[in-house]
């Protein structure tokens, strides 16, 4: 049976992305957009493309309300709903994969999502997103960092389809200024929601409000529902980062060690601790921590995974540690691994220095 698919979105002033977005989503049976007040011609463009569209402006915008309003545009006979923002785009062929694998007992689908790209075009943050869902059975919750929740506490199965690839290329000129007050509102409405308390603490960190960030992230760790060890480790790492930015290296180191103890299967706290030792000129300690980090070979696809931990930078640091420790064989080995991941001229020159020093030491 051919399951009908509807892509839906909310949008405001997205003219520069519409063509790319529509080209990637038009595989669907229906495409719907709720325009929240565009002034750049986006609304008119949506109508020209034959998209089911409506404009609704909000005095007090919140993402869950707007997304729930956008759900009302979806035709009743669409079984599968796919929420795709206008600055995102699918790799072609996604709808065929979705139709072939969707079963009657499926309620949600996870797919591979590249949140950003590095300057060289390689992938940055990658995780499994889950904004594909069964029609008529879900609604959006939370003013920002909104999530899908089942209506009437219904239970559905998830299906993982990593062959579906969605890419995100954000408009860096757009302000995120609404996120902080919306997160504060979200936590005020749901003070025991561990996910948004974590997000609020992280947002305070982004804004340089380090004391508020530390207080909020510690609150996250105390919540009985905060049981996801990777997110707990991230909160501890953000606390460490805030202490470091406040000039308190003692607490920075303590919380990085706590982050490692919380989850020894993620690279990020090892990387931060190794860099901290390097900055303190404790090159042996730095090398030991980097070597421990490299024992973690599987990158988990979650939003906290930092691409820097999986590229050339850690090997670059490690090569310098061994160079400064005068262990040129290990310095050469590490820089070779760095070069294999990023063929930069500086790395090649470093290798030449290490090789020359090794030859002189013979």
pLDDT tens digits, residue range 125-137?
A: 899 999 999 999 9
Answer yes or no: is 246 within a domain.
no
Is 80 exceeded by the pLDDT of residue 285? yes
Q: 266-282 pLDDT, tens per residue?
A: 999 999 999 999 999 99
Give how far the C-alpha of residue 336 lies from the chain's centroid of Cα atoms, to the nearest Å: 29
Instruction: Find the helix or strand (DSSP H, E) in which 32 lies.
Output: strand 30-35
Strand partners, 34: 10, 54
Number of domains in the chain: 1
Q: Is the pLDDT of residue 173 over 80?
A: no
Structural domain includes residue 184:
no
What is the number of alpha carbons within 13 Å of residue 201 lying toward its C-beta?
28
Pick 172 or 345 by higher pLDDT.
345
In degrees and rounded to multiples of 5, residue 133 shows phi and psi of -150, 165
Distances 243 to 19, 137, 276 between C-alpha atoms, Å: 44, 44, 12
Per DSSP, the three-state class of 121 is coil
In a domain, 227, yes or no: no
Q: Which residues contact 143 (CB under 8 A, 6 or more apart)?
A: 62, 63, 64, 182, 183, 185, 186, 189
Q: List beta partners, residue 7.
A: 31, 82
pTM as predicted:
0.88
Report pLDDT for 261.
Answer: 97
Q: Does residue 190 lie within any of the structural domains?
A: no
Q: What sign does the CA torsion over 195, 182, 64, 22 have?
A: negative
- Within a domain: 123: yes
Spatial separation of the C-alpha atoms in residues 203 and 211, rounded to whole Å? 12
- Structural domain boundaries, residue 52: 5-168
42 contacts: CB under 8 Å, gap ≥ 6? 11, 12, 13, 14, 15, 18, 35
CATH of the domain at 117: 3.90.550.10
Helix, strand, coil percent values for the chain (each to nearest 5): 50, 20, 35
Q: How many alpha carbons fall within 13 Å on the CB side of residue 28?
A: 29
45 in a structural domain: yes
More confident residue, 58 or 123: 58
pLDDT tens sequence across 311-322: 999 999 999 999
Residue 282 maps to a domain: no
Q: Is residue 119 part of a domain?
A: yes
Of 126, 149, 153, residue with least CA distance to 138: 149
**Closest among 82, 89, 83, 92 to 115, alpha carbons compared:** 89
């Amino acid at each position: 049976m051919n399951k009908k698919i509807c892509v839906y979105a909310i949008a405001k002033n997205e003219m520069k992305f519409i063509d790319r977005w529509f080209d990637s989503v038009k595989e669907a049976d229906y495409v719907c957009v709720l325009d929240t007040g565009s002034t750049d011609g986006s609304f008119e463009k949506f109508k020209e493309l034959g998209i089911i569209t409506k404009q609704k402006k909000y005095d007090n915008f919140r993402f869950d309300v707007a997304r729930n309003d956008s759900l009302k545009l979806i035709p009743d006979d669409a079984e599968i709903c796919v929420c795709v923002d206008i600055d995102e785009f699918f790799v072609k062929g996604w709808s065929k994969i979705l139709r072939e694998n969707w079963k009657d007992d499926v309620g949600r689908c996870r797919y591979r999502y590249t949140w950003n790209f590095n300057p060289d075009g390689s992938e940055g943050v990658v995780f499994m997103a889950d904004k594909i869902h069964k029609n008529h059975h879900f609604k959006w919750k939370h003013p920002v960092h909104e999530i899908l929740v089942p209506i009437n506490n219904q239970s559905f199965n998830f299906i993982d389809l990593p062959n579906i690839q969605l890419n995100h290329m954000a408009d860096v000129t757009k302000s995120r200024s609404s996120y902080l007050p919306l997160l504060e509102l979200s936590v005020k409405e749901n003070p025991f929601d561990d996910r948004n308390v974590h997000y609020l603490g992280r947002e305070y960190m982004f804004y340089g409000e380090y004391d508020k960030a530390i207080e909020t992230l510690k609150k996250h760790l105390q919540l009985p529902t905060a049981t996801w060890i990777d997110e707990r480790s991230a909160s501890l790492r953000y606390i460490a980062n805030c202490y470091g930015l406040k000039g308190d290296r003692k607490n920075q180191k303590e919380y990085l060690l706590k982050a490692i103890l919380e989850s020894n299967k993620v690279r990020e706290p090892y990387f931060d601790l190794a860099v901290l030792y390097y900055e303190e000129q404790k090159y042996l300690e730095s090398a030991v921590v980097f070597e421990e980090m490299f024992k973690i070979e599987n990158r988990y696809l979650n939003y906290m995974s930092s691409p820097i931990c999986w590229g050339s930078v850690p090997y670059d640091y490690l090569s310098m540690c061994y160079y400064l420790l005068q262990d040129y064989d290990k310095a050469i080995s590490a820089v070779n691994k760095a070069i294999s991941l990023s063929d930069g001229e500086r790395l090649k020159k470093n290798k030449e220095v290490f090789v020359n020093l090794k030859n002189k030491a013979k």
